[in-house]
Amino acid sequence: MMSALVSRLSAAAGASAPAAQGKATPATRKRAEKWAKGLTTRDVAVATETMGDVQAALLDAQVTSYARCPDIVTVIEATLIAALGNMHAVVREAAVVLLNVLYDGHALQLENALTPAVSSVGEAPVVRVSLPQTDPTQPMVLAQGSLTLRLFGPSDAGRPPRWTTHAVTSTAGGGLRVKLPPFPRPGYYDWLVARAEDGDFVPDAKRSAPPDPSAASTGAAVGTGANGEGIDVDANVDGPNAGVDPLSSMDRRRLCGRFVVQPAGSRESLVAEVPVDQVGASWDAGTGQLETRGSFAAVLPVLSGLKMSGATAVYLMGALERPIDEPDAPPMAAADRGVLASVLGGGDDFAQLTAEIRRLGMVPVVDAIERVSRRRAHRKYTSLGVMTRDERGVLVSHPGTDGRVITWEESALLNYRKVETWSLLIAEVKRLARDYGLRGIRLDNAQSCPPIMTVDAEELFRLDPDGVPHYSLSDILYGTVVLRNEESGYWASEAGADCGYANPFLVKLTRELWNEYPTFMVLGESHFHREPQLVASGVVPHSMRISQILASISGMSLRRDGSVAVLPPHKRSTANTLARLYRADQADLPRDAILASCTCTHASPYPGALYRRRSWIAVDLLFFLPHVPVLLWGEDSGRALRVDMAPVVEVEEDSVYDVNYDAVLPKSPRLRHVGSQPASPSAGLAHANQEFSELTLGNSVMSASSSGGASGMRAPPYSSSLSASVSPMDGLSGGVAPTQPVEFSASGGRGLGGVGGMRKRANSSLNLRSMSMGGRKPSFGNLATAGNAPAPVVNQDVSAARSKGGSAVKAKVLTSGMRRTASSSSLVRSQTTDEGKRLAVRGVGAGDLEAIADQEARLRAEIGPQLGFDLSQIRGHYTHRSLMRQQLPALRLGKMVVVPVDPSVKEQVFAFARFTAEQIVVVALNLKDGRDGDAFGAGVNVDLDLRPVWAALPEEFTSRRAELFNAFDVVAGAEEPFVTEGLLTLEELMFRRLSLHLTPMSSSVLELRAEPSGTAEDHYAQSVTRLTLEDAGDIKDPRENTVLAELARGAATSLTAFATALEKARCGLAAEGLDTSEIWRVLQLGLQRASSLLFSVLYEGTVAPKDFVPSVGERLVSYLAMLSLSGANADTKALARSLLANATAIGPIVLLTPELGRFSTAGGLGVMVDDLAKELAALGLEVHVITPYYTLNRKNKTGYLGDGIRWTRNIKVDLGTHVVEVGISRARRLASTCSFWSGATCCQRFTPTRVEPRSTSRQWCFFRSARSKPAALRAWYHQWLFPTIGYRVWRQGTPRTGSLAPTLTTPASSIWCTTSVTRRMRDACTPILTRATLASSIAYPGTCWSTHGGPAWSSTRRAVRS
């Protein structure tokens, strides 16, 4: 039995590599025998040691060269693929890592996955690495030539991959920059930063022990060699940081990475999906019988139209051979995946079709299906099937499945633990490419490929009545019996789901196809939010995300299988869901990822039935978003329904199969604190050791004395550590099992932020470091019996029963660390054979055709052709949007940034920008109309915040900040500027909100381009005029106006530049006819904005300037002091003295508090605010206190304010989502003014012992409006408090700079929001008030006082009195 298994393993490996020719040397056969024994044992220690031996052999083969030892390489591949479904979790995780290392040809990914970015052939990317700075004002500059970048990837001549060296230069900001040449071929290009003195030398994999992930977490290793070892980079540093190693504290993952390079033109692709069965199909109107089926020949006449529509690829859906005796077989029921469907015309007709497609310059694409038909499948699949037990315990063929949502009963699952199954699918695709000119595939069910189910250990380890194992070692190794719909393998591993490793199957597929056909396109169906893994594995995900979200907004649920139902209101998405999706993509997806998107699928209805009036919006999103559009043939014809589609349920359903993106997307951008995150998968599990150390591990616990190693053998990184700490993996298997399965979740982790944009959860249970043997090979005890077929693990009761002849007792088998997917197999829905046939072009009843026609007519009338929503005319909309995409490069090639809108319209309006180095396009869409409510019938006014766009723009644009720009309406084709405020620079246009009106269910497309007329002098004069006409206090950022921007830049540059800008502004204001006092006031505000910019960048997340560092207030004060004595003229001196004098005064102070003195005190906060107001007022300062007037106070009484406090007026405050009308009552108390606001929902009841959470959130919703809606709070000020200059808000210990920060003002006003803060923040805030009175201060923040009282409050009172 063992010899047969070894022969099969060697033959399987030989089948995967022609060079091996299926032959194996005696030494290779011996290794294969040992590995087969080790991977079929229940002892996790033995299995772990086996994987260590496989790793050592792999690294030796990489040093020797694969070409010189093809036999061992092919056996390694077959062994690792079989290990993907092993019963032990540690083996499965190791298999994912080592398969990546095997296909890479180097060991860079032995400990950490490379962070991927996406490019395409012909693109010349730039690698940038930021260095840590000891002195931010003087960035480090590396000595020329001290570092190099090594690049490993395919060569332009099709030779094997090789290492090349590229020069590294320093950037002005203290980083590394490498400009790479254009990529010559598609593939995987891996890079790392190394020391230049090594030259072209690639470090030997056997020079040192395996990489230590703990070094990455501590910064001891600063680079990674070509074979995984740490590189000690002795970088020479020039300048003030000389002698400092800039790389010593860096995470080495920042010093290496990967480019996944797609074929040329991939970003500009447009795929036309053509269901071949439908083209030319016709039905008898009287009987409903199918008269003519579509065919390859019928597709030929439509190709020219597809080319005219802009298609670059034609996806021929359902082109593979089906069971020949089943005319109604579904298109995806493939009987032979390497043969074309005879019912559609066969191979000859297909060859003519593909030849014409390629002659027209398009790419022919067909399906690649991971499963086969259960009936009438080709004989070559017979030995590759996998079995499962049905509800009666009978072995049956496992149906095709995605492992989570659906199974296809008409199909059979293949065994992807066998390398033959992998090689067969690749060979079938290559045959189609060689014989018929195929140049693309669409991998069905790609988000679950390769589909590997969990082994049925109870069945595989079953003993026959005579005590002999029923199944052979081969059956156990390959897992021929599995649990139904229990996903395992790569997609259930933490290496793939959490640590960022690519899918080995897809990597092998894409590498082999691109090696022979460099223009080959690989699309892949994508569900379950697995787009990041598909992108990293070389596949272009074909996603339904946009169509599902838009259907949800329209009240419909578009499900995985294409079926549609009415969605309950609480599950419906909004425009904000789209914004959240793309913000999350910035963290989750690899940088510059390429995805494909569609409005509908071949299984779903057309857009008219999914989106109704939003069908036009769906077309806009299809062509404007940064995706490869996939257009289903017939969707632009104006039809809504067809025969071969999933059912549409017109009643409301609340189903577990509904996709609710609002429930899975993050509410806000993820935190990116690099220093606090684990640097490697193993480092993230340090906290778990204590939890598992209490488990009883039996003979799996190892000590240093039990280890030994053969000389020259590399230590396996998957074996347990020899230290006193216990590996988490040991607690999952081996020896005595825990009383119940242990599940380890890493869903809450965050990975290395800001590296390539791909989020990795590093705190996973893939603990490679803890299993490293430090160069020694582990010994797991007696290996004499390791080759025996493993007996099941049984408890004493079971053993006793067997000793009494109880053979019917089922043995309990331990599957170590078996990780279950989030979905339960009980939730997987079976698509029956009859349901599958509904998706086929077939004969139907006459009543069915009439029902479809009636339902479609009803849908057209419901959409509203009389209001301009005529579904029959939608083809023109498709054509126009396709032409726009072809004419605007930004819509084809540009990057995307979500554009924020006002909170009051974020559920209604979705806006984004696309940009290249030459073009900027802004798109805004209104997704609602009168049917969603009367308030939406008249359209909406939108203010677009383009500041995030400015932060993402390339240097080619930001260097043109002073050029005159404007927005132009692309849809209307207008040549007149859209913005009518006068001449604006690009910087002003980005920092001033762009206002526009959107009619219901409409979109606006604006291109930002250079203004054809205007001079710099005219623009400056207009900027001065805008500064005087507008309320200067409404300006949040000095870059909104060139006059203020020049003041800010001058202050950051030099005294001369500052004096020049100040004098130029004074002269300009004087030319406008302003008197001296008004000039001083306006410039006071201008300097305030200049000094507040630094705090806005530090605390508010404001976009930092790219050409200067904002100045601090002290520098402005010193400049004014010098100008007051040595100004160019008397006017300048007088101006400087006035500005300097006004900086020393403290202006009106406002305290916002939920508690106040005798009115609403629950503890220290109310007493503190009351005392603080009195103390400040006693100093002669103007103090205003704002607090709620609760309906019921702490004693459940109403009207508790007393006779001295009277109602004065009502005001309206916009909280962003709605407007609140608040009543104002005022009183004068001890030289301070108290104002009570009432009537809002957050002022219902005051509870001293326990504040109602809902009431608290409502209160802070009002307080947060000071930050999210500054204009509303300013209007509130002007209505009933006093004319204000500026304010500052701090909340929960974090400084929040408002749009009118009190820096250099006349006088300086402040709002102090009183809330609970941390002890650290409380103590830090104590001396601020005293410092604010110093003459040298110009921009100190306000403060937030603690509710805790105590010493901090006492010192604060003393500071006030002093």
What's the pLDDT at 965?
Answer: 95
Which one-letter DSSP state was computed for residue 1192?
B
| Of 730-739, 803-812, 1211-1220, the least confident | 730-739
In the three-class reduction of DSSP (H, G, I as helix; E, B as strand; rest coil), residue 902 is classed as coil
Whether the pLDDT of residue 94 is over 80: the answer is yes
Q: Specify burial of residue 895 (Cβ count, 10 A radius: 0-12, 13-18, 19+).
A: middle
The answer for residues whose C-beta is within 8 angstroms of residue 102's C-beta and 6 or more apart is 58, 73, 76, 77, 80, 504
Whether the pLDDT of residue 1024 is over 90: the answer is yes
Query: What's the average model confidence in pLDDT over 472-500?
Result: 94
What's the pLDDT at 826?
Answer: 57
Buried b (16+ CB within 10 A) or exposed e, 1186-1216: bbbbbeebbeeeeebbeeebeeeeebebbbb
Whether the pLDDT of residue 296 is over 70: the answer is yes
* Residue 845 near residue 290, CB atoms below 8 Å: no
In the three-class reduction of DSSP (H, G, I as helix; E, B as strand; rest coil), residue 618 is classed as helix
Backbone angles phi, psi at 749, to 5 degrees: -80, 160
* Per-residue pLDDT band at 1233 (split at 50, 70, 90): confident
Whether the pLDDT of residue 1245 is over 60: the answer is no
Whether the pLDDT of residue 95 is over 70: the answer is yes
Q: What is the pLDDT of residues 576-615, one digit of tens each?
A: 999 999 999 998 999 999 999 999 999 999 999 999 999 9
What's the pLDDT at 158?
Answer: 63
Query: What's the average model confidence in pLDDT over 122-128?
Result: 89
What's the pLDDT at 668?
Answer: 62
What's the pLDDT at 1267?
Answer: 35
Question: Which alpha helices (H) appear in 589-651, and where do they start and end?
Answer: 607-611, 615-624
Long-range contacts, stretch 54-58, CB < 8 angstroms, 24+ apart: 54/79, 54/80, 54/83, 54/98, 54/716, 55/94, 55/98, 55/714, 55/716, 55/717, 55/718, 56/713, 56/714, 56/715, 56/716, 57/31, 58/98, 58/101, 58/102
Higher pLDDT residue, 403 or 428? 428
Higher pLDDT residue, 1128 or 315? 315
Query: What's the average model confidence in pLDDT over 961-988?
Result: 90
pTM for the model stands at 0.79
% of the chain surpassing 90 pLDDT: 47
* Residue 1349 near residue 1154, CB atoms below 8 Å: no
What's the pLDDT at 926?
Answer: 97
Query: What's the average model confidence in pLDDT over 376-391?
Result: 94
Look up residue 998 and give its amino acid.
Answer: L
* Per-residue pLDDT band at 830 (split at 50, 70, 90): confident
What's the pLDDT at 1241?
Answer: 52
What's the pLDDT at 134?
Answer: 58
d(CA 1342, CA 53): 64
Which one-letter DSSP state was computed for residue 464?
P
* Per-residue pLDDT band at 487 (split at 50, 70, 90): very high
Q: What is the pLDDT of residues 1272-1305, one digit of tens each?
A: 333 333 333 322 223 333 333 333 333 333 333 3
* Per-residue pLDDT band at 1329 (split at 50, 70, 90): very low
* Residue 874 near residue 638, CB atoms below 8 Å: yes
* Residue 34 near residue 784, CB atoms below 8 Å: no
Q: Quote the mean pLDDT of the chain.
A: 76
Helix or strand holding residue 1094 (H, E): helix 1076-1099
Question: Which alpha helices (H) appear in 921-1041, and where do they start and end?
Answer: 947-952, 955-958, 986-991, 1016-1029
d(CA 75, CA 60): 14
% of the chain surpassing 70 pLDDT: 71
Most confident among 412-421, 1291-1300, 1346-1355 (mean pLDDT): 412-421
Whether the pLDDT of residue 137 is over 60: the answer is no
Q: What is the pLDDT of residues 14-57, one digit of tens each?
A: 444 444 444 678 889 999 999 999 999 999 999 999 999 999 99
Give Cα separations from 38 to 49, 244, 787 (angstroms): 8, 49, 7
* Residue 571 near residue 551, CB atoms below 8 Å: no
Look up residue 141 and give its amino acid.
Answer: V
d(CA 626, CA 614): 19
Query: What's the average model confidence in pLDDT over 480-486?
Result: 95
What's the pLDDT at 1197?
Answer: 78
What's the pLDDT at 960?
Answer: 93
Query: What's the average model confidence in pLDDT over 1055-1084?
Result: 92
Query: What's the average model confidence in pLDDT over 786-801?
Result: 32
Query: What's the average model confidence in pLDDT over 1334-1357?
Result: 32
* Per-residue pLDDT band at 141 (split at 50, 70, 90): low
Q: What is the pLDDT of residues 529-561, one digit of tens each?
A: 999 999 999 999 999 999 999 999 999 999 998
Cis peptide, bond prior to residue 1307, ω within 30 of zero: yes
* Residue 284 near residue 327, CB atoms below 8 Å: no
* Per-residue pLDDT band at 708 (split at 50, 70, 90): very low
Higher pLDDT residue, 198 or 1351? 198
Which of left, alpha, beta for 425 (phi over 0: left; psi -120 to 50: alpha)? alpha
Cis peptide, bond prior to residue 450, ω within 30 of zero: yes
Backbone angles phi, psi at 62, to 5 degrees: -70, -35
| Of 35-39, 247-251, 286-290, 682-686, the least confident | 682-686
Farthest-apart Cα atoms in the chain, separation: 113
What's the pLDDT at 1179?
Answer: 83
Q: What is the pLDDT of residues 311-350, one digit of tens each?
A: 999 999 999 999 988 888 889 999 999 999 999 999 999 9
What's the pLDDT at 1246?
Answer: 55
* 3-class SS shares of the chain: helix, strand, coil, % to 5: 40, 20, 45
Higher pLDDT residue, 1221 or 546? 546
What's the pLDDT at 656?
Answer: 81
What's the pLDDT at 338?
Answer: 96
